[in-house]
Amino acid sequence: MALSQAQSAVKQLMTELEQEGKEVSFAIHPVAGRMPGHMNVLLAEVDIPYDKLKEMDEVNPEFKNTDVAIIIGANDVINPAANTAEGTPIYGMPILDVEDAKHVIICNFDKLPGYAGVDNPLYEEGRTDRIALMLGDAKETLDAITKAFRTCKVQPTVHGATASPEQKGGQWLADAARVIIVPGYGMALSQAQSTVKSLMMELEQQGKEVKFAIHPVAGRMPGHMNVLLAEVDVPYDKLYEMQDINPEFKDTDVAIIIGANDVINPAANTAEGTPIYGMPILDVEDAKHVILCNFDKLPGYAGVDNPLYEEGHEDHIALLLGDAKETLGALIREYRGC
């Protein structure tokens, strides 16, 4: 994993599995890598929660109740020969009991022995009913696993007048080349930033351009959105201030609004006497399509109705109501099926 710098791909797979209600944990062998704590450091880099990392003594009894164990570039520390190959450097070394799992996926560069030079019987032919051996760069094989998982989860998409807002939004994203994401306080409330990062990565993997539009008063304090996105390692150079990004909406295929209201409310241009009249806003309605992930259709903090929520704009606007993390998850699933 360290050699291929696959930790971001690991985080992506973890996120998508958990979005489908699956339990994911990490088994850490004390001598995995090139120094004590090497794996912990790499996983911490991509914000994998520390409470998901389990030491060998704690996790070994769990393998027998595990459906799938995924091995990412580990060899000696999971080599059953340590129990039988007397006279070898690893004989008697405690290992992770991965072969006790119902199924084992091994992502390894090749079938050569590990650092200790001892052949690993998990690589032998004839065990394909339980063990899938995926050879090559770990990052590439993990991406292949993630894509295959997505394919297994998608449902047929309905098109036309009977399509749901999520289905329409998924199709718009599939057809898009340029996407702008607008985060707001609703993203903070639902703690949806990890899901936002997942969507960004999936779109970029398909060659789409993704940018973030940051309004100076979005959230509850200056820089609130920047902090939340930094928590999940969204690159800073993808964050654009209002004056820089506004001219780009007219050339954008899809604008995705995540729990923002007042800062994208066109009433700021017309509703004289209201608290937001004259306030500069993000010109999201200039985009070809707009996907609104909002908890409900009530006004924002300023108490001014938002005309983007009105009926009659379904050809241009998809309104996804409910918790932003859940609606984004539904949007992502529809996008995968398009």
Contact criterion met (CB below 8 Å) for 169 and 320: yes
40 within a domain of the structure (yes/no): yes
**Inter-residue contact 126 to 101 (CB < 8 Å):** no
Over the chain, what is the mean pLDDT? Answer: 89
Residues 48 and 108 in one domain: yes
Q: Are 266 and 284 in contact (CB under 8 A)?
A: no
Give the model's pLDDT for residue 148: 82
What pLDDT does 155 receive? 53
Domain hosting 282: range is 160-337
* DSSP class per residue in 234-267: --GGGEEEHHHHGGGGGG-SEEEEES--GGG-GG
Considering 99, 128, 153, which residue would you say is the last residue of a domain?
153
Query: What would the pLDDT profile of 76-113 be if each residue is shown by its tens digit?
Result: 999 999 999 999 999 999 999 999 999 999 999 998 88
CATH number at residue 325: 3.40.50.1220
What pLDDT was estimated at residue 298? 81
Region of residue 144 (phi > 0: left; psi between -120 and 50: alpha; otherwise: beta):
alpha
What are the residues facing 239 on neighbouring strands? 212
Q: Measured on CA atoms in the order 313, 160, 206, 107, is the torsion positive or negative?
A: positive
Please give the share of the chain, as a percent, with pLDDT higher than 90. 60
Residues 137 and 211 placed together within one structural domain of the fold: no
Retrieve residue 202's tokens. Answer: 């999936």
Contact in structure between 182 and 260 (CB atoms under 8 Å): yes
What pLDDT does residue 289 have? 97
Give yes or no for residue 156 having a pLDDT over 90. Answer: no
Residue 225 belongs to a domain: yes
For residue 162, pLDDT over 90 is answered with: no
- Res. 131 pLDDT band, cuts 50 70 90: very high
pLDDT score, position 81: 92
Please answer whether residues 303 and 332 qualify as being in contact, where contact means their C-beta atoms are separated by less than 8 angstroms.
no
Q: Is residue 204 predicted with pLDDT exceeding 90?
A: yes
Q: Are residue 233 and residue 119 in the same domain, yes or no?
A: no
Q: Which of 153, 182, 205 finishes a domain?
A: 153
Q: What percent of the chain clears pLDDT 70, i.e. is strictly above it?
A: 96
Average pLDDT over residues 297-318: 83
Considering only CA atoms, which of 298, 296, 291 is closest in space to residue 319? 291
Would the pLDDT of 163 be above 80?
A: no
The three-class DSSP label of residue 183 is strand
Residues 207 and 72 in one domain: no
134 within 8 A of 105, measured Cβ to Cβ: yes
pLDDT above 80 for 314 = no
Handedness of CA 60, 61, 64, 69 (dihedral sign): negative
pLDDT over 90 at 75, yes or no: yes
Tokens in use for 32?
């995995």
Residue 161 predicted with pLDDT over 60: no
Same domain, 233 and 287: yes
In a 13 Å sphere around the CA of 144, the CA atoms on its Cβ side amount to: 13
- Residue 280 φ/ψ, nearest 5 degrees: -60, 135
For residue 1, is it within any domain?
no
Task: Determine, yes or no, domain membership for 206.
Answer: yes
Position 154 scores a pLDDT of 54
Q: What are phi and psi of 79, to 5 degrees?
A: -85, 110
Q: Are residues 118 and 137 in the same domain?
A: yes
Number of CB atoms found within 10 A of residue 323's CB: 16
